[in-house]
Amino acid sequence: MAVSGTLDNLVSGASADSPDADTSGASGAPGARAVTAGERALRELLGQRVAVLDGAWGTMLQNAGLTPADYRTERFADHPKDVTGDPDLLNLTRPDIILDVHRQYLAAGADITTTNTFTATSIGQADYGLESLVREMNVQGARLAREAADEAAQKTGTRRFVAGSIGPLNVTLSLSPRVEDPAYRAVTFDQVKASYAEQIAALAEGGVDLLLIETIFDTLNAKAAIAAAREVAPQLPLWISVTIVDMSGRTLSGQTVEAFWSSIAHAEPLVVGVNCSLGAEEMRPHVADLARLAGTFTACHPNAGLPNAFGGYDQTPEEAGRLIGGFASEGLVNVVGGCCGTTPAHIARIAESVRGTAPRALPELPATTRFSGLEPFEIGPDTGFVMIGERTNVTGSARFRRLIEADDYQAAIDVALEQVRGGANLLDVNMDADLLDSERAMTTFLNLLATEPEAARLPIMIDSSRWSVLEAGLRCVQGKGVVNSISLKEGEEPFLAQARRIRDFGAGVVVMAFDEQGQADTTERKVAICARAYDLLTQKVGFPATDIIFDPNVLAVATGIAEHNGYAKAFVDALPLIKQRCPGVRISGGISNLSFSFRGNDVVREAMHSAFLLHAVRAGLDMGIVNAGQLAVYADIPADLLELVEDVLFDRR
């Protein structure tokens, strides 16, 4: 759904309990949600032809000649705040107008009609003082849409569907409203999630067929909505639609389309798409990106061109139909519709333009490891060794720790930038220090890091030995990051519970080779623990193998204890065996641990790291936590030093 102006000025079927619900499950996959008969029918439609969504709601309501009396009616005559311009309130005060808009769009050829609930959250309604009516607005909005859809289906013999419209908020989790305090956030992740959960539960109660999380300009807000949906209405499929704000090809919070998709793919949406802000012509490259990247149905509902000097839209129905029909004929979309400025006339022409056109075929995509910050990062066959910057870690960098303890976060950001400029592909962030409020430090640093585009383009590895700190970090990252780490140290149940939470946030996970008996120090133990964790994650949690990173423990050698001398060789020997037993995974390690016995002797340490990495990468090591920019070149190590180093590493004498 769209409302008109800037994001249309922000003015603008069956629930799980219904007989239409089938709780047999979508598949045998772990955690597979139930699939309703409505979803099965919608999937069938999307596989047969290009489906049509309705158009702008704000445009229609603005053209309806509404007066303040239409918003207030007798019920709200004495309400202390101005409610004029609250489109969601019209579900309660002028349901006849809302029904009429639904009917016009359905008569124009829409297969899917959206509820008039774009801003019907407690946060969205706070300015009007109507937070207490959120449930009623959404239930009524869903019921009105359901009534119109079922009426149209009865008249035409063609099933119509209802999408519960979940719009953006006037607050963002990735950006600060205070220029002078970039780490500040007006709301928390949990507050946003709770606000969306109330709306989603009511939409489900009202009988929607799917949930449309639309006009997304902050992916972290969208993650909160996704989490709410999976918690309160897991039976409903998701349609997730991003807004690209300008010709830069990015969201308001800075992500590219590919980074956005990597960030929300864990939700396994039925449909992913692009809407609002741009006209069809400007939107085309972003629609094409999603069509290439997504293994699910794709959609677009653009504005009626770009706004004119007066904020209106001049694109004719014929032009909209021609452009969007072109998307369909190119095989880019499965669903089309309209956003700001579009009307039933536009939808009728769009429906006509895609009639008889085959829908986009879902591509078979290779399994690959993808992470993202503001930009995507894919680990493929030709990626090479992935460097995870280690200096934004209070346990590994005395300088970084001093800065964090002094609350000098801006200087701490400079440490991150040094790692980026040194070639880091990800940033490892750790705040585990005795005198720190680690949750606060993690939150503050990540919020501030999000405002520094050069560093924020990289995925974040959230590193802590404390679960509360890991979860605090997950609530701050809009991209697809990595949690470092979990293990089987406390047994299977805590391990599985943490893995499920990580999966809920869409992050990858580092799993340490550690179980109830302790840290794995032999090749056999490393392989056995990784295999056990792999089976649990893939079979009981549904974790994609490509999102699993094993750390088989890089341990210190040359400590003076004889049994430690084989640790480096045991690590290298385990790598190909883990890859063979656990297909699809990646393997990482904390490289500086290896040379701990030589701390203070940087020449030897750097030579050890370089030599070890050469052999480990050849054996299957994909990534490592290193001081980016400080690795010695193997070929430059003096021959006598190299011989001594490799003798130590491989316990040759």
pLDDT in tens, 251-296: 999 999 999 999 999 999 999 999 999 999 999 999 999 999 999 9
What are the distances in angstroms from CA 385 to CA 69, 345, 622, 645? 66, 55, 6, 21
Tens of pLDDT, residues 239-251: 999 999 988 899 9
Query: How confident is the model at residue 270, as a pLDDT?
Result: 98
pLDDT at 10 > cutoff 80: no
Q: What length does the chain have?
A: 653
> Which residues fall within 8 angstroms of residue 102, CB to CB, at 6 or more apart?
54, 113, 144, 145, 147, 148, 149
pLDDT at 12 > cutoff 60: no
- State the Cα–Cα distance between residues 216 and 219, nearest whole angstrom: 7
Query: How confident is the model at residue 26, as a pLDDT?
Result: 32
Tens of pLDDT, residues 436-480: 999 999 999 999 999 999 999 999 999 999 999 999 999 999 999
Query: How confident is the model at residue 479, as a pLDDT?
Result: 99
Do the Cβ atoms of 507 and 482 come closer than 8 Å?
Answer: yes
Query: How confident is the model at residue 16, as a pLDDT?
Result: 35
Q: Which two tokens stand for residue 125?
A: 């309604």
Do the Cβ atoms of 538 and 29 come closer than 8 Å?
Answer: no
Question: What is the CATH T-level fold of the domain 369-649, as seen in this structure?
Answer: TIM Barrel (3.20.20)
- State the Cα–Cα distance between residues 209 and 57, nearest whole angstrom: 19
> Nearest Cα to 221, choosing from 265, 266, 263?
263
Q: How confident is the model at residue 13 (pLDDT cuts 50, 70, 90)?
A: very low
Do the Cβ atoms of 425 and 377 come closer than 8 Å?
Answer: yes
pLDDT at 546 > cutoff 90: yes
CA-based end-to-end distance of the chain:
71
Q: How confident is the model at residue 604 (pLDDT cuts 50, 70, 90)?
A: very high
Q: Which two tokens stand for residue 389?
A: 């910057």
- State the Cα–Cα distance between residues 276 and 305, nearest whole angstrom: 10
What are the distances in angstroms from CA 617 to CA 49, 207, 484, 593? 48, 54, 20, 17
- State the Cα–Cα distance between residues 285 and 280, nearest whole angstrom: 10
- State the Cα–Cα distance between residues 483 and 508, nearest whole angstrom: 6
- Helix, strand, or coil (residue 51): strand
How does DSSP classify residue 563?
Answer: G
Number of continuous H segments (helices) and E segments (strands) in the chain? 23, 20
Q: How confident is the model at residue 627 (pLDDT cuts 50, 70, 90)?
A: confident
Burial of 24 per CB tally in 10 Å (0-12, 13-18, 19+): exposed
Do the Cβ atoms of 278 and 267 come closer than 8 Å?
Answer: no
> Nearest Cα to 59, choosing from 271, 353, 317, 284?
317
Rounded to a whole number of angstroms, the CA Rg of the chain reads 27
Q: Where are the alpha helices (DSSP H) in 63-133?
A: 68-72, 90-93, 95-107, 122-125
Tens of pLDDT, residues 485-523: 999 999 999 999 999 999 999 999 999 999 999 999 999
Do the Cβ atoms of 202 and 139 come closer than 8 Å?
Answer: yes
Partners of 482 in beta bridges: 461, 508
Percent of the chain exceeding pLDDT 70 equals 95
Query: How confident is the model at residue 24, as a pLDDT?
Result: 31
DSSP H or E run through 161: strand 161-166
What are the distances in angstroms from CA 578 to CA 203, 263, 529, 554, 586? 46, 27, 10, 15, 9
Provide mean pLDDT across the span 545-565.
96
How does DSSP classify residue 87?
Answer: G
Provide mean pLDDT across the span 139-149.
99
Provide mean pLDDT across the span 153-158.
98
pLDDT at 3 > cutoff 60: no
pLDDT at 91 > cutoff 80: yes
- State the Cα–Cα distance between residues 473 and 450, nearest whole angstrom: 12
Q: Where are the alpha helices (DSSP H) in 126-250?
A: 134-156, 189-206, 219-232
Tens of pLDDT, residues 200-229: 999 999 999 999 999 999 999 999 999 999
> Nearest Cα to 364, choosing from 266, 273, 272, 295?
295
Burial of 68 per CB tally in 10 Å (0-12, 13-18, 19+): exposed
Provide mean pLDDT across the span 28-45.
78
Check the CA dihedral 336-340-341-345 and report its sign: positive
Per domain, the residue ranges of the chain are 6-22+38-354, 369-649
Do the Cβ atoms of 533 and 509 come closer than 8 Å?
Answer: no
Q: What is the mean pLDDT of the chain?
A: 94
pTM: 0.93
pLDDT at 5 > cutoff 80: no
Query: How confident is the model at residue 32, as a pLDDT?
Result: 61
Q: How confident is the model at residue 1 (pLDDT cuts 50, 70, 90)?
A: very low
Provide mean pLDDT across the span 94-106.
99
pLDDT at 301 > cutoff 50: yes
For every residue of 619-639, which 3-state class applies, written as one string? Answer: HCCCEEEECCCCCCCHHHCCH
pLDDT at 29 > cutoff 50: no
Identical fold, 6-22+38-354 and 369-649: yes
Lowest mean pLDDT among 327-331, 451-455, 542-546, 593-597: 593-597
Domain at 6-22+38-354: CATH architecture: Alpha-Beta Barrel (3.20)
